[in-house]
Amino acid sequence: MAVSEANAWNRNRTVTTNRGTHSLSASGSCANNTCTRNATRTGVYGGTATRSGSVTCDPASNSCSGSRTTTGPNGGTIYREGEVHW
């Protein structure tokens, strides 16, 4: 698995229900075997959660590793990381 060309994207969505409006704003890109993604969600009561992460693959060692940080509307943070070999 190799990503050699730069490839960027953006996504913005708004959903309105009988409880209010939710929104999502996300962006990402891939270049030189690394892909990144950042997203922000806003709930009906104005709370915002953010998530950012990246994955890097090394075809020479048949492995990919990545990490992600999520911060909730009250400031709590979760950090995750992992690695896969094939």
Whether the pLDDT of residue 3 is over 60: the answer is no
Residue 11 domain-assigned?
yes
Residue 55 domain-assigned?
yes
Least confident of 15-19, 22-26, 61-65: 15-19
Dihedral pair phi/psi, residue 61, rounded to 5°: -105, 10
Give the helix/strand (H/E) hosting 8: strand 7-17
Which CATH number goes with the domain that contains 67?
Answer: 3.30.1300
Residue 1 domain-assigned?
no
Whether the pLDDT of residue 82 is over 50: the answer is yes
Residue 2 domain-assigned?
no
- The owner of tokens 């997203």 is 39
Q: What does pLDDT average to over the chain?
A: 92
State how many domains the chain has.
1
End-to-end CA distance of the chain: 10
- What predicted TM-score, i.e. pTM, was given to this entire model? 0.79
Task: Tell me which residue of 36, 35, 41 sits closest to 12, measured CA to CA.
Answer: 41
Confidence of residue 44 (pLDDT cuts 50, 70, 90): confident
Q: How confident is the model over 64-73, as a mean pLDDT?
A: 97
Q: Write out the residue range of the structural domain in which residue 45 sits.
A: 7-85
Q: How far apart are alpha carbons 59 and 50 in whole angstroms?
A: 30
